[in-house]
Structure 1
Amino acid sequence: MSVGMAAPRMTYACDPDRSRGRLIQEPPAKTRSPFRRDCDRVIHSTAFRRLKHKTQVFVFHEGDHYRTRLSHTLEVAQIARALSRQLGLDEDLTETLALAHDLGHPPFGHAGEHALDSCLQSLGGFDHNAQTLRLVTSLEHRYPDFDGLNLTWESLEGIVKHNGPLTDKAGTPVGRYRGRSVPPGISEYDGNWDLELWSFASLEAQVAAVSDDIAYDAHDIDDGLRAGLFTVDDLAVMPLMSGMIVDIARRHPMLDDDRRGAELVRELISYLIGAVFSESRRRLEAAKPKSVEHVRNHGSVLIAFPPEAEEAEQMIKIFLKERMYRHPRVMRVMSEAESILFDLFARYQQSPHDMPSEWLPRGDVGAETETDRARRIGNFIAGMTDRFALTEHQRLFSSTPDLR
C-alpha cells in the first residue's frame, strides 16, 4: 500500500463501539462516535481557544508569522491524521489526542513551565501533561452535569500515557518520572479511575506523540529561518538536511531563500512521515497484535522512527537547542517571561483578592490551606495566555518587561 492511501480499520485500532466509556455516564450521541464527540469537546473548550495566544518559541506579539501553541497543535493534528489513516487506526481518537496534547501548557512556553515548576516544588512541581488532565477532568466548566469534558477512558489514557508508561506494574515510576513521583494531578485521578499507568497507550496515542516530534522539528526550523536565527545553508551541517538542500538546488537552481526554506521543511515532513509509516508497519507485522490490549501489553512502542531517522531527528533537536532555544535573543525574552510569572505567583499568594472572583475559594479565603491556595494559583496562571499574563503584570506592578 502506498503512503497516502487509507488502510481499512485494523483489529489493533481503538474501536469506538468498544470504548470503556466515560466516568460519568451519558446517553450516546446520535450522529457521532464517542471519540468524535471527545474531539469536538476539545475543540470547543476554553483551553483550546487560549492556545491561540500562548507561546511556542516566540512570544505572541513578536510577529504574526511565528507558531503559537494553536498553530503548532493544528499541524500536529494534520500529521497525526495522515499517519492514522495510513495505518488503519481511529482518526477521531488520534485527532482528539493531537489537539489536546498541549492544553496544559502555561504562557511563555517552556519558560512558563519552568517558572511554575519552581513555584510549585513543594507540591510536586508543575507538569503540563498533568495540567492537561486537570483541565479535561475538572477545570473546564462548560457542562451542567459535570466539571471538565467527561472524555472517554481512551482519550484520558492517551493524554496521560502518549509518551509511554508512567510506572511499572508495582507502581514504581519509570521513564521521565524515574527517581521521582508521578505528578499528583495524575496519581490522584488514577486513584479515582484506573488509567493503567503501567501499560503502553493505544497506537492512536503513539501516533499523536511521534507527530508532535515531527511538527516540532520541521516547524521550529521554519520559524528559526523566518527569525533569522540561522540560514538554510547553516542546516547543511546535518547529513539528512545537507542531502535535501543539494537535491532542492538541483531541482530548483534559482530558488530564493524563503522558498528554499519552505521546500526544505516540506521535504523533511514528508521524509519523517514516510519513515515512521515504514518502521511502524514493520513493527506491527513482527508483533502481530490482535487487539488494542495486545498493543498496551506489548512491552515497547510500535509507532516509531527507524534508527537512521531517529538519529537524524535527534541531530535536528540538538541543532535547534543550540541555535534557536539557547539563542541569546530567545533566552533573554524567556528569562524576562519567567520573572513575570514569578512576580504574579508571589503577588497572588500575598494578596489572593487580586485574582478574579471566580478563582477565589468559596467561603473565607483565610481558611484555605497554603497547599490549596498554591495549587489554585498555579491553575490560574497555567491557564493564562501570554497577553493576559502581561496585562495582569502591568495591572499589578509598576514596571513590566517588554518581551521583545
Structure 2
Amino acid sequence: MTQTTLHVGILSAGNQSIQNLYLPVLRTLTASYQIVSFYDFSQQNNTNPAKHDNDSFAIVSTPEAILTDTTIDLVLNFMPNELHEKYTIAALQAGKHVMVENPLSLSLQSAKRITDAEKQAPNDAKVFVACARRHAPCFENVFKKEVASLERIYYARCRNIAGPHTAHTATAPKKDLLATTTTTTTNSANPSQTIAEEGRSLLTNLLREALRGDDLTGGRLALSHFLASLGCHDLGLMRDTFGYPDAISNINVNAPFYSALMHYNGSATRDEHPFTLMYETGTDAVPRCDAHLAVYGNTKTVSMSYGLPYAWDGPMRVVVETTGDKGELRRTESVSTWEETFGAELCALHGFLKEGKEAQTTARDAIQDLKLFQNIYDQYDRQCGTIRTPLG
C-alpha cells in the first residue's frame, strides 16, 4: 500500500448501503482504500453477513476499537442519525477523517459542534458527507450543464414517492422511540444495547434543538424524520442544481406524504426571471420508486430520474428533450450505474483528503440542508398557527 492509501474503519448499523454499495466499490479501489476493521451495532456476535471469505478486515465488537486504532485514517460513520455527531466528533478528536452518512446531524446546533471539532482536529482531519447522487457522472457532466444552458427556467419539480424497500426507513417514527429521560443505562455485557439506549436520549435532545422546544407532536416528528431520511438527499440535489431557495411556502404534512413550494428569484439564470419548484414526496405500500428532478425551459426540458439513495437496483438517468427542425421531439439519454455513481463519490473523497481537491459535500455544505430543514419547520409552524405573525 502506498502513502496515498486510506486505511478505513467502518461504523455501521446494519445499513444496506454499506453491505450492498460501499463495500463492493471499496473492494475495487484497492489503490486508494484498505478496509481495516468493521463494527456493526446491529450484530450481537462476531460474524457479519457483509464480510466475504477473502476479506482481510477485522470484525470488532465496539466503536472504540476503531476510534482508538492508530492505523486507521478514515472512519465511515453510518451509524443512526442521532449518533452521527457523537462518533464524528470522536473520530475527529482522534485525528481521523470522517465520511458521515447524510444528513450530517439532526439540528443546526449539532452541526455547528461538528464543524467546530473539525476546525480543531489534529492531523488536519476533515469531514465529507455521503451523498452519492451529487457525484453521479450523468448529474455532474450532463444534467447540471444542460440546466445551466437554459435561457430561462419556467418551472421545476422534484418528486420522490417510494414504496417499501430495504434501502430506506422513511416511515413515520413512533413517539415512544424517544427517551423520557436523558439517563443512559450502562450495560457492559451488551455494548450495542448501551449505544441504543444512549441514542434514544440523544435523539430526544437533538429533536428538541431542531424543533425548538418540547412540542414533539406527531406531525412535527414525522416531518423531521422524513427530511432526515429521504428528504435530505432530494434537497441536496436541488440545492446543488439551483442554489438555496429564496422563500418557502405551502408546506403540506399529511404523513407519510409531504409537499412544499420552493421559490427562486432567478439568480441562477442569466436573465434573473423568478421560478417555482414543487417538491412532493412520500411513502406508500406500492413497490416502486417514482423519483426525479425536472427543469422546464421554453425549448428544452431536462430531467433526471433516480432510485432510492442507497438502492442498488437502478441507474441514474438524465433525459434531455428538445424540438427538432421539423417540430419533432428529440430525446437524448445519459445513464450512470450505481457502481459508477458510488465509485465517483469515493474518488472525490480520496481527492479531497489526499490531493487537496475541493469537494461538494463538505460539512459546511451540509449545514445548508439543516438550515433548509429549519426554514421548512418554521413555515409549517406558521401555517399551523404556532408562530403568531402580524397577519395572525
More strand by share: 2
TM-score range, shorter chain: under 0.3
Larger helix percent: 1
TM superposition score normalised by structure 1: 0.26
Q: Compute the TM-score of the two structures, normalised by the length of structure 2.
A: 0.27
